[in-house]
């Protein structure tokens, strides 16, 4: 590349700014919690680095740490760790106004001149030689509209204007200006300078090359010793953020003003230091020669040159603006923060995680007690945003310690309805949740209905039917067996994903119900048509030919559900369990749901057993997908089981579902009022009669070999 043969005015590439969102977050916090209406100037720190790419310039960047800490009592420059080769610190000043009118009315030229005067004073009093970063001093004015979370701002990078301007004699790549020995020595010297914690972020320096082609980099304060060395090449170097091949970067302007003012040098050889992958790149770096003239009175301290430096916005002298409503409004910020863990899962652990499917999933929780509270919280942690809770109970004084969504206030004045209090609590925890509470009793077999209440019970049945039909997933979390019967029937009829969690004193059962008896292509297509989520509609639409259906909660029973609440002592009326049991069962219930959603066969997936030989299960992103999980705190153990559907099940067999489809509410009312009706319908009555007709012959003989058998 040929250098410029003629003289022309030296032109500089302007600094460019970049503001990280964290800066605005910190500024908003300081404005709200500390500064208030105080609009005093705030010292800040910007960061830049030498150009490291042939096509991209580096910007002066503001980060959260550019501002003072929230805890500091006074507006002080934050302590910045020095020695970071990736960033040089530059001192700045922030004027944050209280109104947008004040922002537009600021004396911008006066502010720029005041900062330029500081640079000029630092040059004359020698501070710039001790800390050369002051030559890159900058100015920022801003207005923060915290109601709309929008910001107006404008950067200025004050540059002292030489009059007459500097003229360019020569400018070319540094690689063309040095011999091979000089280039090798210079590169080694630069790398040593950049790798030292004492000099890595010193942006202005002297480059000296002796007669033996040995290069040395020195501080500006060493000027006198460098000047006395005869026969040595001397260049004025600086970290150049600009990538342009024919223009030096903005920092050179104030550097030339220092050279002109303090040392009265007319011909300046400068080096624009640039890098490639962290090492000196002499092909990208530039070496130039400029002629400068000391202006009239330029060496006098009271004299202050003119200054320029307001940053252009798309070629115009206007401020910039940014809206961060999506990330800085507390509700939206809560959404972003809540999803952070889930998004990080997709990096490595679970790339197939479908957050849109989870967020659009509609979950119905039947029961807002100990299990319901825990399940709701865990669902939100998985990104589920649409939750409906059904319960007709009120919050009692004994509830808040075990049921995590309630407080003492919910117990006062007779107690708030659990469904209502739970929804209010969920919204306080996470304002973006779409939670709904339904106060409703679930009709139950074995609890006969008086004639005057029949219409109310039938309305409840219809409401429950509509709720199940409008949701994608149903959790059965009620206290009694019989309260799970009607939901199990309705879920089998509509082929809904159904999860049951039940507690004993120190044991629990968590299980997923199998697909309904008529979950063939006809009903699956109906389910897909009714689903609001395209992802949900694909779950369980593949018929598992030849595979036996998994059972529901009632498939192992040989009797119909009956009244389990009457004639009970207090400890039998309450759910008496070890306190740690419910969180375990609730977490497993939600994890079971997520496993279903990520299994290719969805609701039709076969039941996996721990340590089974089924290789397909181990290949799933979340591991095995069991049918039942039974756990015991007494033994600190749990096991996975598989139970297939029963042809005599009182809730999900084809006989019961067919009868419900034929007779509707009339069938439900008969099942509720007549305890033996379901047993007669499913053949359990005949089965029990057949069993009781057998005479069991016991071998009363003894054998010594049997003594050890139990």
Give the pair of three-digit tokens for residue 176: 């063309």
Q: Which residues pair with 436 in a beta bridge?
A: 388
Angle at 687 between CA 684 and CA 693, to 5 degrees: 145
CB 575 within 8 A of CB 569: no
Peptide bond into 511 cis (omega under 30): no
CB 553 within 8 A of CB 476: yes
Helix (H) or strand (E) holding 290: strand 286-291
Closest to 161 measured CA to CA, from 300, 298, 289: 298
Q: What are phi and psi of 513, to 5 degrees?
A: -75, 145
Q: What's the CA gap between 618 and 624, in Å, rounded?
A: 6
CB 177 within 8 A of CB 283: no
Sign of the alpha-carbon torsion through 441, 443, 445, 451: positive
Sign of the alpha-carbon torsion through 374, 379, 385, 387: negative
Using left for φ > 0, alpha for ψ between -120 and 50, and beta otherwise, residue 36 falls in left
Residue reference for tokens 């550019």? 66
Helix (H) or strand (E) holding 507: strand 507-512
Query: What is the pairing mode between strands 17-19 and 60-62?
Result: parallel
Q: What's the CA gap between 248 and 226, in Å, rounded?
A: 24
Active-site residue set = 574
Cα distances (angstroms) measured from residue 587 to each of 380, 570, 680: 12, 28, 38
Which residues in 176-214 belong to E strands, given as ranges? 204-209
Cα distances (angstroms) measured from residue 67 to each of 16, 90, 512: 19, 13, 53
Which residues in 104-145 belong to E strands, given as ranges? 138-145
Using left for φ > 0, alpha for ψ between -120 and 50, and beta otherwise, residue 453 falls in alpha
Sign of the alpha-carbon torsion through 176, 182, 183, 186: negative
Closest to 73 measured CA to CA, from 117, 35, 119: 35
Burial grade of 211 (CB within 10 A; 0-12, 13-18, 19 or more) = exposed
Angle at 247 between CA 5 and CA 170, to 5 degrees: 25
* 54: CB partners within 8 A, 6+ apart: 243, 276, 284
Query: What is the pairing mode between strands 88-97 and 167-173?
Result: unpaired
Cα distances (angstroms) measured from residue 10 to each of 13, 253, 285: 10, 10, 17
Q: What are phi and psi of 397, to 5 degrees?
A: -60, -25
CB 632 within 8 A of CB 507: yes
Sign of the alpha-carbon torsion through 369, 370, 371, 373: positive
Per the document, the length of the chain is 710
């Amino acid at each position: 590349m040929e250098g410029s043969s003629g003289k022309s005015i030296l032109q500089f590439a302007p600094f460019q700014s970049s503001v990280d969102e964290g800066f605005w977050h910190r500024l908003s916090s300081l404005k709200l919690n500390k500064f208030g209406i105080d609009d005093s100037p705030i010292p800040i720190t910007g960061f830049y680095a030498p150009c490291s790419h042939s096509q991209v310039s580096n910007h002066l960047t503001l980060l959260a740490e550019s501002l003072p800490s929230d805890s500091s009592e006074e507006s002080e420059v934050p302590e910045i760790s020095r020695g970071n080769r990736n960033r040089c610190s530059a001192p700045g000043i922030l004027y944050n106004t209280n109104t947008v009118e004040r922002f537009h009315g600021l004396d911008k030229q006066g502010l720029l001149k005041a900062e330029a005067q500081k640079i000029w004073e630092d040059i004359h009093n020698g501070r710039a030689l001790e800390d050369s970063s002051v030559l890159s001093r900058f100015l920022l004015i801003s207005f923060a509209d915290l109601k709309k979370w929008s910001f107006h701002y404008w950067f200025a990078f004050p540059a002292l204007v030489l009059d007459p301007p500097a003229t360019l004699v020569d400018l070319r790549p540094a690689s063309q200006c040095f011999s091979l020995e000089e280039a090798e020595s210079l590169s080694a010297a630069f790398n040593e300078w950049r790798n030292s914690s004492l000099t890595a972020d010193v942006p202005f320096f002297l480059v000296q090359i002796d007669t033996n082609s040995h290069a040395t980099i020195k501080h500006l304060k060493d000027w006198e010793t460098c000047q006395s060395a005869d026969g040595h090449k001397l260049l004025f170097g600086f970290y150049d953020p600009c990538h342009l091949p024919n223009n030096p970067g903005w920092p050179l302007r104030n550097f030339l003003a220092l050279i002109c003012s303090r040392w009265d040098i007319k011909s300046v050889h400068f080096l624009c230091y640039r890098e490639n992958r962290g090492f000196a790149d002499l092909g990208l770096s530039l070496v130039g020669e400029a002629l400068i003239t000391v202006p009239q009175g330029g060496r006098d301290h009271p004299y202050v040159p003119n200054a320029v430096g307001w940053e252009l916005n798309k070629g115009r002298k206007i401020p910039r603006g940014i809206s961060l409503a999506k990330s800085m409004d507390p509700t939206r910020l809560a959404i972003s923060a809540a999803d952070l863990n889930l998004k990080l899962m997709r990096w490595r652990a679970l790339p197939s995680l479908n957050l849109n499917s989870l967020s659009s999933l509609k979950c119905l929780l039947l029961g807002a007690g100990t299990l319901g509270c825990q399940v709701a919280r865990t669902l939100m942690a998985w990104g589920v945003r649409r939750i409906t809770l059904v319960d007709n109970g009120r919050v009692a004084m004994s509830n808040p310690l075990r049921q995590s969504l309630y407080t003492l206030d919910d117990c006062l004045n007779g107690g708030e309805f659990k469904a209502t209090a739970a929804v209010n609590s969920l919204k306080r925890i996470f304002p973006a949740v779409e939670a709904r509470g339904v106060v409703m009793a679930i009709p139950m077999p074995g609890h006969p209905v008086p004639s005057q209440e029949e219409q109310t019970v039938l309305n409840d049945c219809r409401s429950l039917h509509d709720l199940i039909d409008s949701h994608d997933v149903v959790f059965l979390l009620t206290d009694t067996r019989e309260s799970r019967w009607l939901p199990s029937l309705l879920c089998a009829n509509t082929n809904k994903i159904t999860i049951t969690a039940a507690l004993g004193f120190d044991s629990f059962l968590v299980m997923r119900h199998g697909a309904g008896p008529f979950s063939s292509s006809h009903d699956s297509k109906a389910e897909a048509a009714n689903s609001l989520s395209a992802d949900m509609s694909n779950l369980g639409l593949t018929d598992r030919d030849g595979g036996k259906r998994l059972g529901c909660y009632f498939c192992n029973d040989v009797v119909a559900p009956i009244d389990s609440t009457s004639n009970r002592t207090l400890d039998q009326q309450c759910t008496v369990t070890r306190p740690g049991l419910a969180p375990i069962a609730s977490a497993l219930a939600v994890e079971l749901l997520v496993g279903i959603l990520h299994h290719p066969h969805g609701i039709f997936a076969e039941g996996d057993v721990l340590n089974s030989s089924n290789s397909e299960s181990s290949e799933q992103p979340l591991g095995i997908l069991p049918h039942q999980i039974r756990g015991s705190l007494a033994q600190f153990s749990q096991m996975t089981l598989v139970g297939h559907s029963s042809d005599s099940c009182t809730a999900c067999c084809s006989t019961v579902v067919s009868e419900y489809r034929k007779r509707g509410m009339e069938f439900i009312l008969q099942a509720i009022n007549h305890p033996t009706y379901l047993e007669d319908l499913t053949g359990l009555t005949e089965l029990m009669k057949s069993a009781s007709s057998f005479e069991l012959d016991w071998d009363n003989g003894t054998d010594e070999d049997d003594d050890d058998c139990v």
